[in-house]
Chain A
Amino acid sequence: SQTIHQWPATLVQPVGSPLSLECTVEGTSNPNLYWYRQAAGRGLQLLFYSVGIGQISSEVPQNLSASRPQDRQFILSSKKLLLSDSGFYLCAWSVIGRAYEQYFGPGTRLTVT
C-alpha cells in the first residue's frame, strides 16, 4: 500500500532563516505531488504541484520554492522566512491521470518567530 511521509512534524524558525520541508511517497511510482499551506481558519491553499521529476508548477507567488529531485521526493524551501509563512504545510500525492483524487501526508506545523 502507499504511504506518504513528511518531516519534520513541527518546526520553529526565526524570521529570515532558511526552510526545507521534505515529503516522500512509498508504494507508488511517478505520482503527482502537491504542497498545500493551511493557515488558521483559511482552508487549504495549493502552493505547488509536480507531474514529474524537475517539473514544478507554482500556484501562488511567494518567497517559497519547490523541487522534485527524485520521483517520490518533494521538497519545499525558502531562503528567508517571513512571519506570514507560519502555518500547517501538507503534502499530497495522486496517481497520474487521477489528479482529482489526492492523499495527504500528516503535515508539518511551521511557526516563524
Chain B
Amino acid sequence: AQSVTQPDIHITVSEGASLELRCNYSYGATPYLFWYVQSPGQGLQLLLKYFSGDTLVQGIKGFEAEFKRSQSSFNLRKPSVHWSDAAEYFCAVAPLYGNKLVFGAGTILRVKS
C-alpha cells in the first residue's frame, strides 16, 4: 500500500534561515507528488506538484521541492523563511490512475524572530 512519511513532527527555524522539510514515500512506481500548506484553522493550499520531467519544481511563496527517485523522497525547501511561513505542511502522493491522495502526518513549522 502507498504510504507517506514525514519524519519531523515539529521544526523550528529562525526567520531568514533556510528550510528543508522531509518527505519519503513508498509506492511501486513514481506517483504524483504534492506539498500542501495549512495555516491554523484554515483549509489546505497547494504549494507545488510534481508529475514528471524536471526533478526540481518551483511552487508558490518561494518554495521548491526536489524529487529524488533513488531515495523515494520529495523534500520541500525554501532559502529564506519568513514569519508568515509558520504553518503545517503536508506531503501527499497519488497513484497515476487512482481517485485519491495519501497524506503524510504533517510537519509543523515554527519560525522564531
Q: Which A residues are within 8 Å of any B CB, using their own CB?
A: 6, 32, 34, 41-44, 46, 49, 51, 57, 59, 90, 92, 99-107, 109
Could you list 5 A-B pairs, sorted by A, with CB under 8 Å? A46-B101, A90-B43, A92-B44, A102-B46, A104-B45
The residues of A that contact B41 with a CB separation of less than 8 Å are 107, 109
Expressed in whole angstroms, the minimum distance between the Cβ of A78 and any Cβ of chain B is 21
A-contact 0/1 string along B53-84, CB 8 Å cutoff = 00000000000000000000000000000000
User: Do the beta carbons of B101 and A102 come within 8 Å of each other?
Assistant: yes
Question: In chain B, what residue has the closest Cβ to A45?
Answer: B103
Contact for A100 among B36, B98, B105, CB less than 8 A: B98
Whether the Cβ atoms of A99 and B100 lie closer than 8 Å is yes
Number of B residues near A (Cβ < 8 Å) is 22
Most chain A CB within 10 A, of B9, B44, B46, B98, is at: B44
CB-CB contacts below 8 Å: B82-100 with A: 90, 94-95, 98-100
A-B interface contact total, Cβ < 8 Å: 52
Which residues of chain B come closer than 8 Å to A109, judged between CB atoms?
41
CA distance A32 to B105 in the complex (A): 23
Smallest CB-CB A-B distances: 6 pairs: A100-B94, A104-B43, A43-B105, A104-B44, A44-B103, A99-B99
Give min CB distance, A87 to chain B, whole Å. Answer: 13
Bound complex: CA A69 to CA B31 (Å): 32
- Inter-subunit contact A51/B99 (CB<8 Å): yes
Q: A90-B43, A99-B94, A107-B43 are in contact. List 8 more A-B contacts (CB 8 A).
A: A43-B103, A43-B106, A44-B44, A90-B44, A99-B98, A100-B32, A100-B95, A106-B43
Q: In the complex, A36 Cα to B45 Cα: how many Å?
A: 14
